[in-house]
């Protein structure tokens, strides 16, 4: 039996610049970078001032940057660009006395000339990992900002004329993705530390929220709180099952058993009266 699997989405090529005042050195770095299909060389510079302008214009992900250059060295070039806008950097130089300063400015690596192909490859792989990490952090930050905006501004008011109720949709982020959950998709919800865990068709998603605020957002005709840390979709209720010392457990259609707290007995009793 064949299994259909979606093709892997290739990672974007890492936009890279080469900065060195020696043409031969730039050519050597270019030849080594061209062996890697994940790298896209977007520019070269022969001096610090030119490098700063190139970084501001191209906004590369990675720079192979010489330290000592006429007029403006590599460190000064990064200062002109600013820490927030600076790419990941591998310093390439013939002088080892700058190594400490290089790592003080969070350089990914420090290649001392002359280097061999193996050493260059190790530096490149380390740099690529750093770029991917930065890209992932940036995406997660943008997703969080989008989620905050949607939760604060993007949920339009309920429209009774269209049969919509308050809390008809829940927006949450899980594993770097934003999920738009319809209320009727949710089986039950439990508190887990500072988060709420949504149980949805055998999967679970976490959202940073308090139980009280979440309960206020949900439609009381659709969801009922059965414990200080548990909310259940009424449509998922199957039965009440006797538990220890006169207590009851709420049993869902999928067999999940949840504790019914004494303080919420009246809610269940009222629900059962309405169902008669």
**Type and span of the H or E element at 141:** helix 117-149
**Which of 27, 69, 29, 33 is CA-nearest to residue 49?**
69
* pLDDT tens digits, one per residue of 66-116: 988 888 888 889 889 887 788 999 998 887 776 667 666 678 888 888 899
Residue 10 has pLDDT above 60, yes or no: no
* pLDDT tens digits, one per residue of 173-183: 665 566 677 88
**Which of 75, 53, 57, 58 is CA-nearest to residue 66?**
75
- Could you tell me if 133 and 187 lie in one domain? no
Please count the structural domains in the chain.
2
Which CATH number characterizes residue 243's domain? 2.40.50.1020
Residue 152, domain member (yes or no): no
- Could you tell me if 18 and 135 lie in one domain? yes
Spatial contact of 235 and 222, defined as CB atoms under 8 Å apart: yes
Residue 259, domain member (yes or no): yes
Q: Which domain holds residue 32?
A: 14-141
Which CATH number characterizes residue 113's domain? 3.40.50.2300
- d(CA 47, CA 20) in angstroms, rounded, equals 7
- d(CA 151, CA 82) in angstroms, rounded, equals 33
Helix axes 74-81, 48-58, angle to 10 degrees: 30
Residue 89, domain member (yes or no): yes
Q: Are strands 177-182 and 169-174 parallel, antiparallel or unpaired?
A: antiparallel
Residue 153: DSSP 8-state: I
- Could you tell me if 133 and 173 lie in one domain? no
Position 57 confidence tier, pLDDT thresholds 50, 70, 90: very high
In this structure, what token pair is assigned to residue 35?
């062996």
Q: For 125-139, 141-155, 171-185, 255-269, which range has the lowest pLDDT when averaged over its residues?
A: 141-155
Residue 158, domain member (yes or no): no
Three-state helix/strand/coil letters over 168-179: CEEEEEECCEEE
Residue 235, domain member (yes or no): yes
In this structure, what token pair is assigned to residue 7?
């093709």
* pLDDT tens digits, one per residue of 186-197: 999 999 888 889
- Could you tell me if 189 and 247 lie in one domain? yes
- Could you tell me if 18 and 137 lie in one domain? yes
Position 158 confidence tier, pLDDT thresholds 50, 70, 90: very low
Asked whether the bond before 114 is cis by omega within 30 degrees of 0, the reply is: yes
- Could you tell me if 96 and 54 lie in one domain? yes
* pLDDT tens digits, one per residue of 17-52: 999 999 999 999 999 999 999 999 999 999 999 999
The whole-number pLDDT of residue 269 equals 65
């Amino acid at each position: 039996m064949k299994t259909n699997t979606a093709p892997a989405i290739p990672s974007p090529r890492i936009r890279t610049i080469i900065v060195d005042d020696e043409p031969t050195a730039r050519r050597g770095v270019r030849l080594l970078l061209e062996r890697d299909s994940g790298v896209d060389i977007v520019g070269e510079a022969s001096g610090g001032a030119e490098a700063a302008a190139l970084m501001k214009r191209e906004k590369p992900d990675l720079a192979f940057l010489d330290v000592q250059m006429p007029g403006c060295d590599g460190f000064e070039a990064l200062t002109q660009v600013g820490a927030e806008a600076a790419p990941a950097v591998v310093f390439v130089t013939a002088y080892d006395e700058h190594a400490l300063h290089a790592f003080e400015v969070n350089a990914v690596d420090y290649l001392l000339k002359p280097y061999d192909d193996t050493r260059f490859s190790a530096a490149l792989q380390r740099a690529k990992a750093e770029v991917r990490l930065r890209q992932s952090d940036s995406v997660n930050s943008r997703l969080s900002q989008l989620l905050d905006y949607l939760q604060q501004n993007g949920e339009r008011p309920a429209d009774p004329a269209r049969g919509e109720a308050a809390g008809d949709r829940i927006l949450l982020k899980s594993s770097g993705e934003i999920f738009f959950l319809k209320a009727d998709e949710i089986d039950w919800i439990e508190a887990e530390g500072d988060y709420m865990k949504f149980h949805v068709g055998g999967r679970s998603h976490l959202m940073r929220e308090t139980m009280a605020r979440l309960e206020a957002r949900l439609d009381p005709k659709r969801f009922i709180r059965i414990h200080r840390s548990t909310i259940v979709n009424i449509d998922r209720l199957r039965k009440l099952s006797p538990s220890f010392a006169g207590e009851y457990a709420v049993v869902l259609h999928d067999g999940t058993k949840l504790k019914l707290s004494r303080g919420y007995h009246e809610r269940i009793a009222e629900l059962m009266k309405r169902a008669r």
